[in-house]
Structure 1
Amino acid sequence: MTQTNTQTNIQPSPDILCIGSVLWDIIGRSPMEMRRGSDMPGRITRLPGGVAMNIAMTLARFGLKPALLSAIGRDDEGNELIAACTRLGLITDHIYRSDDLPTDRYMAVEGANGLIAAIADAHSLEAAGDKILKPLQDGSLGSATDPYAGPVALDGNLTLSLLDDIANDPAFAAADLRVAPASPGKAERLRPFLTRNRGTLYVNLEEAGLLCQAEFTNSETAALAMLERGACRVLVTDGGRSATEAGPHSLVTLVPPRVTVARVTGAGDTFMAAHIAAETRGDTGELALASALKAAATYVSGEPPL
């Protein structure tokens, strides 16, 4: 049996909705370079994570009030995660809680040379499907006749069929959609937004290549190719080399600040959230892109993005 979450204390109205994975990140980090088969000393941490969660946490640090739409189990790990979200200032009223689906998890190993390997277990989110969107259809946050009109951050941990439905759903017709794949392996799930010229897409160089079925050597070329493929607006990052924002009437490319890399998991989510926050406060173009790159660089250096 499944049921939706109910709370007696109603939280504030959200500034933005973050839809997608909210789970526990289990990250093993070693200060040494690693390769396949390496067995190194390091630290293992468990922190709230997931693309939607990472974006929401960063948005909250910038003073916004994000609401999470996701699936979290009613197990002990799920109750701990809800409590952690609440402590971080995130709105959890609309999260779908399940009695028979466990709380999702993500596991990664990082070395001094970056991400070595990762496994995302977001099967509960996928199994919940469109149940997580009920608040946008039943009037809690919006409906087909009175759609939610604010910004919405979507992540590619949702299934391709659900993302395709969102791209067509009248309940999202007035939303400012911001979409990111959860990983290169899920980049193809963003294709409905290409074919329907919907939303702002946040991808890295590899993900842009997968969506365009091509190889790119820089972010500007990749961004322009995505526009040709049907993207309404796109931001393409290329690690520490460059980032490009491109739309029908804009093209901006900047080089990120140089920093010593201490972590990589969550950097793309931080970049996306910082860019949304910058545009929310009125920054545009080069100023918004520079702000996002600074926040991401600060994050990978091991410091908070503020």
Structure 2
Amino acid sequence: MEENSAQRRLQCLCRHLLQQYDAGSAVLRQVLMNGGRLDSGEGRDRDGEAVIIGGMVLDIHAVPSTPLVSGTTSPGKVYYFHGGVARNVAECMSNLSVRPFLISALGHDMAGNLLFEHWKLAGLHTEGIRRHGDIRTAVVCSTLDINGEIATGVANVQDIETFVSAEWIQQFRYQIRSSTVLMVDANLGPSALKASCQLAAEYDIPLWFEPVSLSKSKRVVPIVKHVTYVSPNEDELIAMANELSPENTIPSIHMNESKKDFSPEILFKFLKPAICVLLEKGIKVVLVTLGPNGVLVCSRGGVGLWKISQKSQKSFPRGQIINSIFSCPTRVFLDLGKSANDSSYLFALHIPALPATVQKLTGAGDCLVGGILSSISAGLDLIQATSVGVAVARATVESEENVPSFNLQKIADDARWVYSAARVLFHGPMQ
């Protein structure tokens, strides 16, 4: 009993020192994170099903109750949300009973304290969150239109690039080595993205790139050959393709009517050239988020569409919750025959969205990715996982939170419907 009490006190002291510790010895960090023991990482508690690297942000949303008028204020409400792409993805995974490991940075300011305390209260890993007095916690202030879309905003997120550095990320190689998938968001700077890719390659971990925004999506260029999965919307997809292949500019989609009035076939026809650029540059699977039109899952041949990770979900018992409630026989979408591994063939699958009563659209894309990554950790294949992600996205847009709590049984029921409605849009030559 006394030994257990002493061990608890030692662990408490280590956690305290860890929060004060910043950029010193990686060996010291390893000792602190192991309760005073130095080991090689073998046999440690492998409860980080995925490692998520990127931004933690305080989101301020101004929501007008009347149409916006330039040059004056509009009546409405102002809300504060815990945000940031990486943070949202990780919290979504936690709310789906999967425990991710988040690597990020926060200041000791009001916004940082708010975000950090929320993370601690959720019982999530805090070791990967760098805290320093010189950090200005990322804040994004957005004004939404009356439809819930972002009309304009200001983002102060540059310290994520400075303090979520390559050196900081490299100290968590043990968590990355034992993960099923590593996700990076495009808030990271070039050296941090490169370090993440090197670690993923070293440990043969699939790398997921989340574009974040139109301008930041272009940061994929130096690391494209290391990216396994990417999840852009239509505009980000075209921006990435044009940056990767500037000699063949692909026009943006300009439509007078709402995109929801266009069929998945028409949207795919517009987007196919950009999808092919990303695949030809080395990305294995492109998931294009189409909002109310669902998701396109595209790869060369059919390779990579099923199991993302070879690691068994038996290593991660919490993930079995999703696996157990998603009891749906695996569908054979197409007999690919000899072309299944033919890289000259493009395979495109459409996964439909669910009808939703929209409260707020921000956070939906992040939760889509969070639902997919949670399901991957549970051992589902990519099509099953994306079906879960679509169900999670629906629950998110019907909530006023960036990341709501989820009814897992409702998510499973919705995901089964989505999965049953998935269909092959295209299977033929890349060109």
Q: Out of 2-11 and 185-194, give the one that drifted further.
A: 2-11
Rounded to whole Å, the distance in 2 between the matches of 1:56 and 1:35 is: 36
Could you report, residue by residue, the CA deviation over 1:63-114 in whole angstroms, capped at 9, with x for unpaired residues? 0112221111123432332111112232111211112122121111112231
> Which residue identity does 1:130 align to in structure 2?
A
1:154 counterpart residue number: 184
State percent identity of aligned pairs. Answer: 23
Structure 2 gaps of 5+ residues are 1-19, 24-28, 36-44, 243-249, 254-266, 306-347, 407-431
Which of 221, 229, 234 pairs up with 1:200? 229
Helix, strand or coil at the partner of 2:193: helix
Helix, strand or coil at the partner of 1:45: strand
Structure 1 residues 165 and 286, CA, compared in 2 at 3 Å: closer, same or farther?
A: closer
Which of 39, 56, 77 pairs up with 2:73? 39
Cα pair 2:169 2:196 within 8 Å, conserved: no
1:227 counterpart residue number: 279
Does residue 184 (structure 1) correspond to residue 227 (structure 2)? The answer is: no
Does residue 271 (structure 1) correspond to residue 368 (structure 2)? The answer is: yes
Does residue 127 (structure 1) correspond to residue 162 (structure 2)? The answer is: yes
Rounded to whole Å, the distance in 2 between the matches of 1:29 and 1:288 is: 32
Does residue 167 (structure 1) correspond to residue 197 (structure 2)? The answer is: yes
Rounded to whole Å, the distance in 2 between the matches of 1:36 and 1:167 is: 44
Cα pair 2:208 2:229 within 8 Å, conserved: yes
> Which residue identity does 1:181 align to in structure 2?
P
Q: Out of 49-58 and 101-110, give the one that drifted further.
A: 101-110
Rounded to whole Å, the distance in 2 between the matches of 1:9 and 1:111 is: 48
> Which residue identity does 1:127 align to in structure 2?
T
Q: What's the TM-score once normalised by structure 1's chain length?
A: 0.86
Structure 1 gaps of 5+ residues are none
The structural deviation recorded for 1:247 is 2.4
The structural deviation recorded for 1:26 is 1.1
Q: Out of 21-30 and 69-78, give the one that drifted further.
A: 69-78
Rounded to whole Å, the distance in 1 between the matches of 2:68 and 2:51 is: 37
Structure 1 residues 171 and 94, CA, compared in 2 at 3 Å: closer, same or farther?
A: farther
The structural deviation recorded for 1:227 is 1.3
Structure 1 residues 31 and 280, CA, compared in 2 at 3 Å: closer, same or farther?
A: farther
Structure 1 residues 35 and 246, CA, compared in 2 at 3 Å: closer, same or farther?
A: farther
2:111 counterpart residue number: 77
Rounded to whole Å, the distance in 1 between the matches of 2:378 and 2:71 is: 46
Higher helix share: 2
The structural deviation recorded for 1:41 is 1.8
Instruction: Give the CA RMSD over aligned residues.
Output: 2.7
Structure 1 residues 68 and 111, CA, compared in 2 at 3 Å: closer, same or farther?
A: same
Cα pair 1:197 1:231 within 8 Å, conserved: yes
Does residue 4 (structure 1) correspond to residue 4 (structure 2)? The answer is: no
> Which residue identity does 1:223 align to in structure 2?
I
1:19 counterpart residue number: 53
> Which residue identity does 1:152 align to in structure 2?
L
2:296 counterpart residue number: 244
Could you report, residue by residue, the CA deviation over 1:164-216 in whole angstroms, capped at 9, with x for unpaired residues? 3332346754223221012112010122342x142211111100000111236
Alignment of 1:89-168 (within 5 A): 89-113=123-147, 114-128=149-163, 129-137=165-173, 141=175, 147-168=177-198
- State how many pairs are aligned: 298
Cα pair 2:351 2:387 within 8 Å, conserved: yes
Helix, strand or coil at the partner of 1:14: coil
Rounded to whole Å, the distance in 2 between the matches of 1:287 and 1:234 is: 16
Alignment of 1:43-82 (within 5 A): 43-82=77-116
> Which residue identity does 2:251 align to in structure 1?
E
Cα pair 2:295 2:352 within 8 Å, conserved: yes
Higher strand share: 1
